Structure 1
Amino acid sequence: MVNWRRRRGSFSSWLLILLLFALREIQTAHHKHEMKHIAVGTSQTLLDLLSVGLIDDIQWASYHKSNHQIVTKAAWMAEAVGMNFIEEMRHLTLNHEGDYQFVIHYLTRNDTKTERNHTLQILFNCEIDGNIQLSSLVKYGLDGEDLIQIERLEGQWVVLNPKAHSFKLILESPFWTEVRKRYNNRYCVGVMQKILQNSSMKENLPPEVYVSRRDFPNGTIRFSCTATGFYPQSILLHWKKGSDGVIWGKESSSGTLPNSDDTFYLRICLEIQSGDTETGYACVVDHSQLEAPAVYPVPEKPSQWNLRAVALNILLAAILMISCFVVFTKWKKRKSGIRAGVTLLGVRTHLAFYMGGVEAGAELQAQVKA
């Protein structure tokens, strides 16, 4: 019976390890490509157009009507996609400018004020897990209101606003259905796969990790573990206590967020209440650029003696600085007085030579020396 329990415990441990590795693989393989198009115009004219592409919430490219150019976030991304493909996407977006203006015109055809500006929003995204596409979404909005959407390639359009009932007939036509599927496969999924497959062109970086604690007056203690500057995005952070201690507390996470240099950032926090032993806590970080998971212990709470020593050192340093300042001020005043006395002596000597002749001047000098 005991051996069976041991085997069961060992099996559970291996199952947990396999689950963690599976979770890591899932996090690594799952990606999302999102394209946002924002067009501003009247029923007659397209005034502005901005298109932005984001992979895993990181902007990789943008297009603006003012210059009709696609600008990539980094040179390695343009190289991964290919300059010919970038030019193809530029021509496609340029040709679609007329389509955006047509949609605005069609959706506002009953508006009596034809010169009024309207904002058309089109969201297109796709998600993949490895080489398997999980989902696809296309959504239209006008002036901040959702109009119509479709969630799967083979799905049905769902009207979200009565204004879009007639527009649904256009979107369901064979021509626009084929355009949507081609756009999804080539420009959504295809672009994302090219960038992800060539992401090794960007330098991989390990995380910089900072662990801190904060003690509150009510006895609550908050531990923070911050990992930043790492690439690729996939990372695992978790708290541990001792070798197999149970973690009791309120955990929170910032989620993995992008930095301005295309690296990533993640912070996890743990709040424990007074009465917990508060010792033995550590943050465990696992990233592809680390040879093994790294353990960062939480700093211990400074003792009262250390706090008093720090306060005493600060006080002594302040007294020393004030004393030096006072001595320097007195020395400077004394030196100024000596210089003034020497100057006055020189003036009196010259006057004596001038008024009383050489003998008077020599006598004055002799008196001063004496």
Structure 2
Amino acid sequence: MLLLLQLLSLLRELTAESPWGLPVVADGPASLAKVVMAELADLKLENKPWPGGTHSLHYHYLALSEPGPGLPQFLAVGYVDDQPFIHYDSRVDRAKPQAPWMAAVDTQYWETETQKQRAWAKVQQVETWTVMGYHNQSSGTHSTQRTFGCEIREDGHTSSFWQFGFDGQDHLSLDLETLSWVSAKPVAVQTKRWWETERCYAEYDKAYLEGLCLTSLHRYLELGSQSLTRKEPPKVQVTRHTAEDGSITLRCWARGFYPRDISLSWWLGEDELVQEAEYVETRPDGDGTYQTWAAVRVPARMENGYICHVQHSSLNHTLTVAWEAPSHQWITSAKVISIIFTITFLLVAGVLIFIKQYSQGGEEPHNSQNPMSVETAQLLC
């Protein structure tokens, strides 16, 4: 990083005025960074009721070395529980709300966040060109990604992460236990040495993630309580799939639920099929809710014996769902059989009438004026 000394005088003021987003610590005197770090470490969670469930706050920063048409040089997006709530685009150069519950925040907050993101845009731009140099790249479009955040689980335990990527690949991550930078690739060792020149920056990141980040998460949950602490039950459906080799898979779908935490399991009688089941990670459904599924392979004609169990905070009991054959399946089959029978009957009748007419009249079968030929044609049609 370059020395962003002009930001250091602003840093302490911003931290005191609005402990919401991530302040900037430039590569200035380590003593000043340690002062800010100490202030962050002193931030404690207020003793307020926790809304329950698992909640998270995380940010994604993206910087481009040479952005193409329509692309920003720097982009920052903040998420609470996977829902975007703040957005900064260097082309607009203003931090803006992304969630309705953020619109009521005062103008001072948005001014503060705008200044922070402007500063981070400069820092990450320097980082981008520096890492490009480590890769012997002096031009072209390249990117760095910084992602970090914290989480509070329903049992009160917390966790945090801090990662840095280059061109979409892992580059460095921060081990919060040892306060060491972990390089994902050999070339990242040079970045690791660069960042380890001042241990206080790793200490600062840890202080932010375990102090200010959690405090901010609490406050955002207060602002968006109606949206972020709501409970929406899952819509559950079991589908049946046949593979090319004839094997049958039952998939238990859960969609449209909130909050994120959910448990899906497959049972056969009194036995839970832990090893046999396949699971996917819960993911956003695109409308502020979540979706996921669990699948299990089953023997043919044994589908009805397998039961999907669903547990979610919006439900006061365990929901059990089994696969059901579509009710219209037998109706459709009967219709097909009836149509085939009718067509067969008409063809046989037509052939018999044709043979009878030809044997009695002795006329050529192609005589279109014969009444029997007309009758035959009508039957065939």
TM class by shorter-chain length?
0.5 to 0.7
**C-alpha distance in structure 1 between counterparts of 2:207 and 2:256, whole Å:** 36
The match for 2:164 is: 140
**C-alpha distance in structure 2 between counterparts of 1:294 and 1:200, whole Å:** 27
* 1:279 aligned counterpart, secondary structure: helix
**C-alpha distance in structure 1 between counterparts of 2:254 and 2:232, whole Å:** 12
1:98 aligns with one of 108, 119, 122: 122
The match for 2:293 is: 267
| Conservation of the 8 A alpha-carbon contact between 1:279 and 1:300 | no
The match for 1:207 is: 234
**C-alpha distance in structure 1 between counterparts of 2:324 and 2:244, whole Å:** 18
Q: CA deviation at 1:129?
A: 3.2
Corresponding position: 1:76 with 2:76: no
Q: 1:263 to 1:309 in 2, by over 3 A?
A: same
* 1:66 aligned counterpart, secondary structure: coil
* 1:157 aligned counterpart, secondary structure: strand
Q: 1:143 to 1:260 in 2, by over 3 A?
A: closer
* 1:188 aligned counterpart, secondary structure: helix
* 1:53 aligned counterpart, secondary structure: strand
* 2:303 aligned counterpart, secondary structure: coil
Q: 1:216 to 1:153 in 2, by over 3 A?
A: closer
Q: Which amino acid aligns with 1:97?
A: A
Q: CA deviation at 1:29?
A: 4.6
Q: CA deviation at 1:207?
A: 1.7
The match for 1:309 is: 334
**C-alpha distance in structure 2 between counterparts of 1:304 and 1:136, whole Å:** 51
The match for 1:51 is: 76
Larger mean CA deviation between 106-115 and 193-202 belongs to: 106-115
Q: 1:237 to 1:86 in 2, by over 3 A?
A: farther
- Kindly report which structure 2 residues correspond to 1:1-370, keeping only aligned pairs within 5 A, or say none: 29-41=53-65, 48-76=73-101, 84-107=108-131, 117-130=141-154, 131-137=156-162, 139-143=163-167, 146-152=170-176, 155-159=179-183, 161-164=188-191, 166-170=193-197, 172=198, 174=200, 176-177=201-202, 179-181=204-206, 183-185=208-210, 188-196=213-221, 200-202=225-227, 203-215=230-242, 220-242=247-269, 244=270, 247=273, 250-274=276-300, 277-300=302-325, 308-312=333-337
Q: Which amino acid aligns with 1:228?
A: R
| Conservation of the 8 A alpha-carbon contact between 1:36 and 1:53 | yes
* 2:277 aligned counterpart, secondary structure: strand
| Conservation of the 8 A alpha-carbon contact between 2:308 and 2:322 | yes
Alignment gaps of 5+ in structure 1: 1-27, 320-370
Q: CA deviation at 1:209?
A: 1.9
**C-alpha distance in structure 2 between counterparts of 1:263 and 1:121, whole Å:** 26
Greater relative contact order (CA < 8 Å, ≥ 6 in sequence) = 2
| Conservation of the 8 A alpha-carbon contact between 1:206 and 1:229 | yes
Q: Which amino acid aligns with 1:102?
A: V
Structure 1 runs of 4+ off > 6 angstroms?
109-113, 301-305, 316-319
| Conservation of the 8 A alpha-carbon contact between 1:226 and 1:267 | yes
**C-alpha distance in structure 1 between counterparts of 2:126 and 2:113, whole Å:** 20
* 2:73 aligned counterpart, secondary structure: strand
Larger mean CA deviation between 281-290 and 306-315 belongs to: 306-315
Q: Which amino acid aligns with 2:153?
A: D
The match for 2:372 is: none
State percent identity of aligned pairs: 24
**C-alpha distance in structure 2 between counterparts of 1:37 and 1:98, whole Å:** 12
| Conservation of the 8 A alpha-carbon contact between 2:165 and 2:171 | yes
* 1:194 aligned counterpart, secondary structure: helix
* 1:97 aligned counterpart, secondary structure: helix
Q: Normalising to structure 2: TM-score of the pair? A: 0.59
**C-alpha distance in structure 1 between counterparts of 2:76 and 2:253, whole Å:** 33
Structure 1 residues 204-245: Cα deviation after superposition (integer angstroms, max 9, x where no partner):
322222223245686533222212111122222223345x35
Q: CA deviation at 1:53?
A: 2.6
Q: Which amino acid aligns with 1:126?
A: C
Q: CA deviation at 1:132?
A: 3.8
| Conservation of the 8 A alpha-carbon contact between 2:257 and 2:290 | yes
**C-alpha distance in structure 1 between counterparts of 2:226 and 2:264, whole Å:** 26
**C-alpha distance in structure 2 between counterparts of 1:71 and 1:100, whole Å:** 20
Q: Normalising to structure 1: TM-score of the pair? A: 0.61
The match for 2:363 is: none
**C-alpha distance in structure 1 between counterparts of 2:152 and 2:55, whole Å:** 5
Q: 1:312 to 1:36 in 2, by over 3 A?
A: same
**C-alpha distance in structure 2 between counterparts of 1:88 and 1:318, whole Å:** 78
Q: CA deviation at 1:279?
A: 2.9
Q: How many equivalent residue pairs?
A: 283
Q: CA deviation at 1:50?
A: 1.1
Q: CA deviation at 1:145?
A: 5.8
**C-alpha distance in structure 2 between counterparts of 1:205 and 1:288, whole Å:** 9
Report the aligned-residue RMSD: 4.1
Q: Whose radius of gyration is greater, 1 or 2?
A: 1
Q: Considering fraction of residues, name the structure with more helix.
A: 1
Q: CA deviation at 1:166?
A: 5.0
